[in-house]
């Protein structure tokens, strides 16, 4: 079984090049090409592809409007193509909030150094997106403006919201992409770890993470009692815009981390893209170290690197949370934290866009709690003091 793809882009050259690359893989077939967003919506309804690739700037209907319409009419995993600029980041984040699953740079030179690497990256990303749940975790839209201050400093935890069921698609059977482990995932644990003080709360995520982090962090009051560090797989040109977006939506403060930043309650520091973030302990005070990205590591920033540094700097005093994302980044860092007595939560399969990172942690027996995305924010309010 091959993965069917609809390409939506107003550039004839890009449509032709992308079609050639994807069709050459053998496991992917481009079944249609649209020249604008409106045509893309109509072809999505007619062709019912497994994945849609989407440009932003197009005549008649732009990419964000097209994604919203597709999610309303026939929810389908969408991979956005965008420029690696501040404006490109802003537009891409809007597209992710509209329902897109993931994104790639539109300039192929930004993706890979040579043709074979480019084909591999595009193919793997399409296959991963095909396995995603396009509506997972998107049952409630996040607010578009900052929430009003809560009446009390610690609002009561709200019951989990009801989410719209995810539209699932069978994974391709004959592809060569890395397969998930065959055994069934663990059943969600409803046990609750006792409320306690943590010196740091660390949240790691990848695909689906921008919206997942947004949904979690808007629940936190301005006087949240612990410092937070956020690790999201994202290019360096995107993290400043993402931090600004979160800061506008949340009651806590959010900004991109800089070398030498001190951790403090009510402040969330986002790891800069393309680099590694480590946390040091200076006399009980957490301090950020930003280091150059190491080419030997696949992820920059890496959840394993930050979590590993927390295991050394704040043993037994950290809460680690692993949200949606492909791959297994965060598993070894979570293991190091657990060995010191720290606590690990992971997102459940149903609410994950890609159940890779949280699955790796859960199947390794490292999750103290397995939570739906709607539960994570309220649990942080309830379980951290």
Taking the C-alpha atoms of residue 37 and residue 153, their distance in angstroms, rounded to an integer, is 45
DSSP 218: T
Taking the C-alpha atoms of residue 300 and residue 25, their distance in angstroms, rounded to an integer, is 27
Q: Verify whether residue 329 is a known catalytic residue.
A: yes
Three-point CA angle 212, 165, 378, nearest 5° = 40
CA distances from 20 to 15, 105, 251 (A): 9, 18, 47
**Chain mean position to CA 225:** 25
Tokens 């956005």 belong to residue: 80
CB 95 within 8 A of CB 80: yes
Taking the C-alpha atoms of residue 86 and residue 89, their distance in angstroms, rounded to an integer, is 5
Q: Which candidate in 25, 82, 233, 302 is catalytic?
A: 233
E strands along 233-350, which residues? 253-256, 267-270, 275-282, 285-292, 318-322, 343-347
CB 142 within 8 A of CB 214: yes
DSSP 228: E
Q: Which candidate in 25, 82, 133, 206 is catalytic?
A: 206
Q: Break the chain down into helix, strand, coil percent, rounded to 5.
A: 30, 20, 45
Q: Verify whether residue 206 is a known catalytic residue.
A: yes
Q: Verify whether residue 261 is a known catalytic residue.
A: no
Q: Which candidate in 9, 55, 94, 329 is catalytic?
A: 329
Three-point CA angle 336, 338, 343, nearest 5° = 130
Catalytic positions, please?
Answer: 206, 233, 329
């Amino acid at each position: 079984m091959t993965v069917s793809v609809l390409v939506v882009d107003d550039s004839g050259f890009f449509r032709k090049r992308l079609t050639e690359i994807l069709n050459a893989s053998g496991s992917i077939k481009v079944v249609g090409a649209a020249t604008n967003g409106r045509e893309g919506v109509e072809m999505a309804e007619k062709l019912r592809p497994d994945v849609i690739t989407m440009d932003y700037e197009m005549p008649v209907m732009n990419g964000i409007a097209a994604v919203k319409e597709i999610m309303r009419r026939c929810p389908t995993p969408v991979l956005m193509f965008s420029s690696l600029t501040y404006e490109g980041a802003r537009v891409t984040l809007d597209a992710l909030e509209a329902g897109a699953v993931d994104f790639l740079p539109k300039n192929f030179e930004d993706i890979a150094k040579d043709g074979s690497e480019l084909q591999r990256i595009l193919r793997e990303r399409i296959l991963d997106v095909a396995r995603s749940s396009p509506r997972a975790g998107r049952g409630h839209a996040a607010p578009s403006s900052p929430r009003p201050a809560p009446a009390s400093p610690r609002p009561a935890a709200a019951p989990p919201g009801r989410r719209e069921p995810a539209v699932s698609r069978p994974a391709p059977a004959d592809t060569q992409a890395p397969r998930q482990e065959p055994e069934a995932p663990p059943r969600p644990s409803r046990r609750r770890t006792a409320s306690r003080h943590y010196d740091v709360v660390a949240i790691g995520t990848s695909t689906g993470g921008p919206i997942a982090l947004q949904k979690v962090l808007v629940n936190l009051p301005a006087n949240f009692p612990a410092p937070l560090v956020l690790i999201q797989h994202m290019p360096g040109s995107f993290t400043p815009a993402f931090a600004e977006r979160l800061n506008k939506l949340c009651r806590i403060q959010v900004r991109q981390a800089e070398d030498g930043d001190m951790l403090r309650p009510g402040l969330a520091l986002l790891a800069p893209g393309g680099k590694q973030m480590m946390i040091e302990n200076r006399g009980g005070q957490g301090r950020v170290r930003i280091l150059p990205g190491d080419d030997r590591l696949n992820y920059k920033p890496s959840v394993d690197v930050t979590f590993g540094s927390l295991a050394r700097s704040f043993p037994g005093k950290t809460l680690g949370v692993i949200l949606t994302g492909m791959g297994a980044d965060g598993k070894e860092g979570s293991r190091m934290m657990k060995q010191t007595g720290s606590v690990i939560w992971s997102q459940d399969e149903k609410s994950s866009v890609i159940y890779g990172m949280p699955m790796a942690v859960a199947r390794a027996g490292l999750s103290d709690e397995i939570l739906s995305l709607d539960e994570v924010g309220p649990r942080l309010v309830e379980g951290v003091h």
